[in-house]
Amino acid sequence: QLTLKDEILQRFLQANGEPISGQQLADEFQVSRTAIWKHMQSLQQEGYTFETIKKRGYQLVAVPDKVDFGQLKQLLTTERYGQQVHYFDSVESTQFVAHDLVRQGAPDGTLVIAEHQSAGRGRMMREWESSQGKGIWMTIIIRPEIAPHQAPQFTLVTAVAIVNAMKAMFKNFTPQIKWPNDILVNGKKTTGILTEMIAEENRIQALLIGIGINVNQQLEDFPVELHHIATSLAIEGKESIDRVHLVAQVLNYLEQFSDQYVKNGFTLIKKLWEESSCTIGSQVRATTLREVVEGEAIAITDSGVLEIRQANGVVKGVYSADIEL
């Protein structure tokens, strides 16, 4: 549900820089001009800048660099993904918030997004560095009609969506997928995906798709121990990036690809995945919870398992692992 303030903002965003008078807004929303003015003042405090154009009204001339859902809605072409947004300045982890929301019955496509996470996490409770205002830290709650054993494939579906969003927006670098859950640019990690499942018996209640994308950090924004493995899109693309557009693109592609996957299965996604992968054909060292498997990554199977041909010729399937290329 949009508040009046969000509606006013939407109206200015739709106006594309054209001025709108206070009276016009008051008439449209059937409130007083003072009410309109109060909401515009609080938008100003959030970093929106309005200019007064004589006899014509107010013009929106600058928006703050934050993930604003008034603006996000304009950019979405989705039916469900991102249509409900829970936006936070700071949370421990968007995954934790999403767990609570699932319990409260949040609908398919609900987005949880934060400017900062104080306890962002990766797989197996590893730390995920989520600095204020520089990245995209979000969880999408989805409720697909699939069996629990298909859940890991959603990490691959998500990776394909993110890579396509990046390719559509950025021409001066090429993102690559590293199985199972990383997107690399020039060999360094820009993005991590964390897929969690809430299931009962043979039914999925919800998948929580956590996505962390390093967007506008510079190297010094990362802790030293990440300098050799992590990078941001701004570092690789040599320009600062509008996060709202990227969030919208990711959600647009993600809804399209997950619907496609649920309807038609893994074949197309697998093909797209293979086209953007830097894993297949490489020598890898995969560390699973039980063992270390070394060899050439030769394929992913129809269920998303990575096949590795070892030096002795034996092919092993790996379900989840950390990969060194």
Q: Residues interacting with ligand BT5, by CB under 6 A?
A: 93-95, 117, 120-123, 126-130, 137-139, 181, 189, 192-194, 210-212, 214, 226, 229-230
189 vs 270 by CB, closer to ligand BT5: 189
9 vs 213 by CB, closer to ligand BT5: 213
Query: Least CB distance from residue 139 to ligand BT5, whole Å?
Result: 5
Alpha carbon distance 186, 172 (integer Å): 11
70 vs 210 by CB, closer to ligand BT5: 210
Query: Least CB distance from residue 211 to ligand BT5, whole Å?
Result: 6
164 vs 232 by CB, closer to ligand BT5: 232
19 vs 135 by CB, closer to ligand BT5: 135
Query: Least CB distance from residue 134 to ligand BT5, whole Å?
Result: 9
Alpha carbon distance 235, 217 (integer Å): 7
Query: Least CB distance from residue 216 to ligand BT5, whole Å?
Result: 12
Query: Least CB distance from residue 214 to ligand BT5, whole Å?
Result: 5
35 vs 197 by CB, closer to ligand BT5: 197
Helices 153-169 and 243-264, packing angle to 10 deg: 140
Query: Least CB distance from residue 8 to ligand BT5, whole Å?
Result: 30
Query: Least CB distance from residue 225 to ligand BT5, whole Å?
Result: 8
Alpha carbon distance 20, 178 (integer Å): 48
Alpha carbon distance 267, 256 (integer Å): 15
126 vs 149 by CB, closer to ligand BT5: 126
